[in-house]
Structure 1
Amino acid sequence: MINRQIRAQEVRLIDETGKQLGVVPFEEAARLAIERKLDLIQVTEKVEPPVCKLGDYGKYLYQEEKKNKSTKKQKGGELKRIRLTFNISLHDLKTKAHQTEKFLNKGDKVRVEMYLRGREKAFQDFAKEKVNKFLEILQNATPIKIERDLKKEFGGLMIIISKG
């Protein structure tokens, strides 16, 4: 919220340099903003009185967006899912690897799942070989890092990878 949208009687004010000016009445904070040709920006409303800052609102929005992008990048993006089947052909495996490579290049983590149905559950070793073959094809295209090792999960196998 900015300027007259703020509904508090008193605000904790921070000037454009980051210096705290203390708790001041809202009207005085609004007057200061007008004098300095700046916006009064409510930074947080979770505390009483709410924290407001003097500054350019456009610049503030840009900084917040930049901060959100960097935290998303640190977090590792989204978790995408790729499903493999027990009888997947080599060509389909390469196609799935190509799609996984796209996800990894965007900065996302990928959860590779192989579901086993019925009698397929008796051939866990063959299923692990298929997943390892998939990882080998992917490794040739782009470096990968294994976030969570290949493990048996309800209904099949699962591994989480990210760009290495």
Structure 2
Amino acid sequence: MVNKGKTPGKDKFDKFRINEEIDSATVRLVGEEGEPAIIETSKALEMARERSLDLVEITANQDPPVVKIIDYSKFIFEQVKKAKEAKKKQKVIHVKEIKLRPAIDNNDFHHKINNARSFLEKGDKVKFTLMFRGREMVHPELGFEVMDRIQEALKDCAIPEKSPAQEGKNITMIMNPSNPKKA
């Protein structure tokens, strides 16, 4: 069910206790200048009411809890705004996987390289998985040669994060973009 009239993401900031919800006998009041003073909760509530503001518990896990005299709705608005800014600055890194075989044709190889180049230009990592089947495992050096060709073809736009390594019937390698796209 949708909560009408509520700011999205605001409910995670409901953890702050205000005014009469603060059940401690004494509190550490931090003023605008930043100097903390330990006073009774009733006095702090009185000071908040005189200024027509709220007594907001900032840190509950200290003894006594830290409180501030501020406008609660403005405080929550600032908290939501900071959370949105932090979320906006996060960058998700995708890992794209390209699978190939040791006996790959030139056209197929160039097509895979072009796909990898487009992924790298977008800022994504690319994982190359070279799969062996049956008796191809007798010649793993063919797989490492293909991986060397890939590194050579992409040396202008990528750097290897993980050099080619054999894992069972596969050889894997991860390439990072050499100049990641700015978000």
Determine helix, strand or coil for the equivalent of 2:64: coil
Shift of 1:38: 4.0
The alignment status of 1:15 with 2:42, answered yes or no, reads no
Residues 111/96 of structure 1: CA separation in 2 closer, same or farther (3 Å cut): closer
Q: TM-score with structure 1 length normalisation?
A: 0.61
Using the alignment, how far apart are the partners of 1:159 and 1:14 within structure 2? 51
Using the alignment, how far apart are the partners of 1:160 and 1:11 within structure 2? 54
Using the alignment, how far apart are the partners of 2:177 and 2:121 within structure 1? 10
Using the alignment, how far apart are the partners of 1:81 and 1:5 within structure 2? 50
**1:63: which partner in 2?**
82
Higher helix share: 1
The total of aligned residue pairs comes to: 147
The alignment status of 1:94 with 2:114, answered yes or no, reads yes
Amino acid at match of 1:80: H
**1:116: which partner in 2?**
131
- Work out which of the residue numbers 161, 168, 172 in structure 2 matches 1:148: 161
Question: RMSD over aligned Cα, in angstroms?
Answer: 3.6
Using the alignment, how far apart are the partners of 1:110 and 1:5 within structure 2? 52
The alignment status of 1:161 with 2:176, answered yes or no, reads yes
Using the alignment, how far apart are the partners of 1:53 and 1:147 within structure 2? 51
- Work out which of the residue numbers 86, 94, 98 in structure 2 matches 1:84: 98
Using the alignment, how far apart are the partners of 2:37 and 2:60 within structure 1? 16
Using the alignment, how far apart are the partners of 2:18 and 2:117 within structure 1? 51
Using the alignment, how far apart are the partners of 1:151 and 1:59 within structure 2? 48
Using the alignment, how far apart are the partners of 1:31 and 1:147 within structure 2? 64
Q: TM-score with structure 2 length normalisation?
A: 0.56
- Work out which of the residue numbers 144, 147, 150 in structure 2 matches 1:125: 144
Percent same amino acid among aligned pairs?
17
- Checking the alignment, whether the CA contact within 8 Å between 1:6 and 1:42 is kept in structure 2 is no
